């Protein structure tokens, strides 16, 4: 096992994906009253799952990019805005929990490494 | 992508919503003002929100206030011959402010503010978790 194997790098990319998604969701919420605004989202799970599924080395996972997709197909209000504040709130808490899950796994891995190194 | 970009996005939303609240408060305070700053009856003001384009290195910019404009709807005409600003037919030109509309806008804006606070707290929680990784 490498020190930084595919799952370690996957966690790193997953965490930055969740940070990006947090920013995108915050942007949707801050534009909840902007006429004509269309919401965006990042599906970092699928991108990362595809990258890990076909991964041969940690480097290939490290290069995974995430794209911000704008949803122009729906309309919530007469002014053309399609931000559903309740939906954004749900996505926001889902994303925070995602991130917390990834950080707990990461810190456990760091603790295992520390034990192996003999730090504790 | 910086660590604090998400906080900046939420902060832009909070300040935009707060400015909207200020303008709504001004509309409500002047709902019966017949002499505005220009001597004319007060005109209802509205905030125009616009999506902010991201500056260098940012993914998303949040929201910005494009301007504060006067509402072009015609003023209310109230029959009140005793009023010092009444015209020769006894009608007073009152501001085009409808307190009910303002109240609804106030609720929208206050909920919008709360949504931004929630997003900011979520970002803070995530950052705190990051600092815990190496603890």
How would DSSP label each residue in B50-119? EEPPP-TT-S---EEEEEEEE--SPPEEEE-TTSTT--TTSEEEE-S--HHHHHHHHHHHHHHHHHHHHH
Mutate to test the interface with A, among B13, B14, B105, B124 (most CBs of A within 10 A): B13
Question: Rounded to the nearest 5°, which phi and psi values hold at A69?
Answer: -100, 135
pLDDT tens, residue by residue, B36-78: 888 889 999 999 999 998 877 778 889 999 999 999 999 999 9
pLDDT tens, residue by residue, A42-101: 999 999 999 888 888 888 888 888 999 998 888 878 888 999 999 999 999 999 999 999
Least CA distance to A66: which residue of chain B?
B59
Residue B133 domain flag: no
> What per-residue confidence (pLDDT) applies to B133?
83
> What per-residue confidence (pLDDT) applies to B26?
95
Least CA distance to B15: which residue of chain A?
A30
| Domain membership of residue B109 as a residue range | 5-128
Residue A69 domain flag: yes
Total number of domains in chain A = 1
- Closest partner residue to A31 (CB to CB) among B51, B129, B133 is B51
Q: Which residues of A touch B112 (CB under 8 A)?
A: 29, 32-33, 85
With a pLDDT cut of 70, the percent of chain A lying above it is: 97
- Closest partner residue to A23 (CB to CB) among B16, B51, B60 is B60
Mutate to test the interface with A, among B115, B130, B132 (most CBs of A within 10 A): B115
Total number of domains in chain B = 1
Residue B19 domain flag: yes
Is B129's CB within 8 Å of A100's CB? yes
pTM for the full predicted model? 0.85
Residue A1 domain flag: no
Residue B56 domain flag: yes
> What per-residue confidence (pLDDT) applies to A1?
56
More confident residue, B116 or A119: B116
């Amino acid at each position: 096992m490498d020190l930084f194997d595919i799952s370690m790098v996957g966690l790193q990319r997953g965490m930055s994906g969740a940070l990006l998604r947090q920013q995108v969701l915050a942007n949707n919420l801050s534009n909840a009253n902007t006429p004509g605004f269309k919401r965006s989202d990042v599906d970092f799970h699928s991108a990362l799952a595809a990258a890990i599924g076909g991964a041969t080395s940690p480097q290939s996972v490290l290069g995974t990019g995430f794209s911000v997709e704008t949803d122009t197909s729906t309309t919530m209000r007469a002014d053309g805005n399609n931000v559903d504040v309740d939906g954004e709130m749900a996505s926001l808490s889902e994303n925070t929990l995602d991130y917390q899950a990834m950080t707990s796994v990461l810190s456990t891995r760091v603790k295992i490494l520390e034990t192996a190194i003999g730090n504790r | 992508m910086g660590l604090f970009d998400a906080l900046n996005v939420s902060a832009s939303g909070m300040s935009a919503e707060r400015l909207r609240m200020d303008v709504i408060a001004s509309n409500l305070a002047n709902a019966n003002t017949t002499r505005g700053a220009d001597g004319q009856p007060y005109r209802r003001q509205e905030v125009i929100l616009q999506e902010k384009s991201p500056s260098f290195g940012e993914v998303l910019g949040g929201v910005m206030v494009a301007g504060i404009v006067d509402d072009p709807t015609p003023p209310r005409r109230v029959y009140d011959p005793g009023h010092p600003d009444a015209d020769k037919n006894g009608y007073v030109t009152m501001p085009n402010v409808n307190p009910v509309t303002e109240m609804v806008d106030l609720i929208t804006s206050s909920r919008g503010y709360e949504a931004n606070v929630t997003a900011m707290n979520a970002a803070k929680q995530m950052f705190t978790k990051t600092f815990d990784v190496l603890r």
